[in-house]
Amino acid sequence: MNKFKRHVSGLSLVLALLMVLTACGGGSKGGEEASGTQASGGESANSGDTPEIVMPFFVLNGIPEDMQAVNDEINKITKEKIGATVKLMPISYGTYGQQTNLMLTGNEQVDLMVVGTWFNYTTQVAKNQLLPLDDLLAQYGQDIVKTLGDNYISAGKVKGKTYGVATMRDLADMYGLVIPKDVLDKYQIKTEDIKTFDDVGNLLATIKKNEPDSTPLVPFGPGDSLLDNYMTYDNLGDKLGVLPGDATDLKVVDWFEQPEYADLLNKIRSWYEAGFIMKDAATNRDSGLELMKAGRGDVLLTRIKPGYAEQESRLIGKPVVTIPLTQPQARTSSVANMMWGIPRNAKYPDKAMQMLNLMFTDKDVANLLAWGIEGKHYVVKSDGVAGYPDGVDQNNSKYNLNQGWMFGNQFLTYVWEGDSPDLWKQLQAFNDSAVPSKALGFTFDQTPVKTEVAAVQNVLNQYKMALEWGTVDPAKVLPEFRKKLKDAGIDKIIAEKQKQLDEWAASK
């Protein structure tokens, strides 16, 4: 009996704990709902039937405290201009893919959302989760088409229909290296002298010679191989079959079989063996900027654009310069990685497109989303750039989203203090100067070969990082890598890609 009593008391303890847990869950849910109704506009009382557009997007640095205040300000404008309110739904980047996936499969109302190849865009299209936007664009989105231009609009097309609309930002891909200015000065290296991959090797050799204990080259970020940040070709979405940079026709080739690829691997291997590269590069989990800040290295390769050097200088805390290594190229992947789409679950697709159009045309909406409320989160300085108001800085600002590139037309927003005042002009020129890839506008649908893609991805995961950081000897491992890719069916993927590309070209 005594034993039984003990069991019962144990059980009731567990039950009590469970109840506490469920109460907590219920509580937070209630909170969510409360904030939800709040978000639907404090004014919903007097305008019960104003449509509300639900608009999820991702945030990189945490959800700003004053999101709701900004949302309310935006609603004032949208109510007047498009007769709708929006419910901004910030979701942290790490969970965005999963959470929106749940919302879409769970049939929740989502009217306008960030889509793109970062978040399985082509699968969403193949599974019919997104609406074709062509009619809506023609009816409500004329300004979007005008701003982006046909080339960049076409990047959101799959099989002739548009499912995503990019934002006006840096839309071309250019790769280069980032290096602190004092390092260049110290060794009297001119930026003009560095143009090719080999030049980078020479630069690394110079630094290594003078600082034998250093490993000057660091990765840009976790999971990034060196060659992920040095692409001289159009990767056609996934690198499984690419279009070489100097391609004159639409012939898909296997990048990993190219002599150029083997050549690059040999160079990287020699760098690694000479101690130019951080030894843990292939398993690194830190951001390259953090590594640079901590003095672990001086050079990294990444995707660059006008204004990038200023941006990184601020983060690292000392002036850095960027040196381009490739020509800017406009590819589907550089445009389609982040777009806006209207899901099948949308309740107000018309209003959603109007909202998108508004983000492309309305300076106030664009600035609200990018920088917050004027006077509170930012002020416009005398030379027309925006900056923090007195007493506000990066750390205590209640709206430091800093994601102007995500909402509509970034060129409508103010340039931030410290950037060149004509930054948007430079970016526009950068976009215009980009050579469009022959396959710009082609999006590969992986679903017909998904079995092979899953297998090939696993092979890539096993070999790519180690080979492309020089940790293993390409003479021994590259043939093995190539053979496993063949076994996993990369040829079938390339054949399918070629077929889709030919169909796409024929339909153009």
At closest approach, how far in Å is the CB of 327 from other proteins?
Answer: 27
- In this structure, what token pair is assigned to residue 185? 């000065």
Q: How far is CA 243 from CA 260, 277, 440, 468, in A?
A: 13, 29, 11, 20
Asked if 453 interacts with other proteins (CB under 8 A), we say yes
For residue 211, give the 3-state DSSP assignment.
coil
Q: How far is CA 31 from CA 35, 38, 48, in A?
A: 6, 10, 22
Q: How far is CA 219 from CA 9, 154, 180, 182, 263, in A?
A: 56, 33, 15, 20, 20
The DSSP code sequence of 7-29 is HHHHHHHHHHHHHHHHHHHHHHH
Window 157-216: residues binding other proteins (CB under 8 A): 215
Tell me which of 44, 68, 101, 426 binds other proteins, using CB under 8 A: 101
Window 228-247: residues binding other proteins (CB under 8 A): 238
- In this structure, what token pair is assigned to residue 132? 């074709």
CA proximity to 251, closest of 5, 497, 508: 497
Asked if 337 interacts with other proteins (CB under 8 A), we say no
Asked if 462 interacts with other proteins (CB under 8 A), we say yes
Residue closer to other proteins, measured from CB, 47 or 451 = 451
Asked if 396 interacts with other proteins (CB under 8 A), we say no
Tell me which of 200, 282, 392, 501 binds other proteins, using CB under 8 A: 282
* Binding region for other proteins (CB under 8 A) out of 100-108, 367-375, 409-417, 419-427: 100-108
Task: Indicate if the alpha-carbon torsion angle 77, 82, 83, 85 is positive or negative.
Answer: negative
Residue closer to other proteins, measured from CB, 229 or 446 = 446
Tell me which of 450, 479, 499, 502 binds other proteins, using CB under 8 A: 450
Asked if 125 interacts with other proteins (CB under 8 A), we say no
Q: What angle do CA 471, 474, 478 make, to 5 degrees?
A: 120
Asked if 287 interacts with other proteins (CB under 8 A), we say no
Asked if 447 interacts with other proteins (CB under 8 A), we say yes
Contacts with other proteins by CB under 8 A: the residue count is 45
Asked if 227 interacts with other proteins (CB under 8 A), we say no
Asked if 120 interacts with other proteins (CB under 8 A), we say yes
- In this structure, what token pair is assigned to residue 100? 């929106």
Q: How far is CA 441 from CA 254, 268, 354, 435, 507, in A?
A: 20, 32, 24, 13, 12
Measured over all CA atoms, what is the biggest interatomic distance in the chain, rounded to whole angstroms? 88
Asked if 344 interacts with other proteins (CB under 8 A), we say yes
Tell me which of 88, 153, 278, 339 binds other proteins, using CB under 8 A: 278
Answer yes or no: are the C-beta atoms of 261 and 198 closer than 8 Å. no
Residue closer to other proteins, measured from CB, 18 or 274 = 18
Asked if 97 interacts with other proteins (CB under 8 A), we say yes
Rounded Cα gap, residues 217 and 292, in angstroms = 9
CA proximity to 408, closest of 117, 131, 133, 112: 112
Tell me which of 471, 474, 482, 497 binds other proteins, using CB under 8 A: 471
Asked if 99 interacts with other proteins (CB under 8 A), we say no
Asked if 461 interacts with other proteins (CB under 8 A), we say yes
Contacts with other proteins, residue ranges (CB under 8 A): 11, 15, 18, 97, 101, 104-105, 120, 123, 127-129, 215, 223, 238, 278-280, 282-283, 285, 344, 446-447, 450-455, 457-458, 461-467, 471-472, 484, 487-489
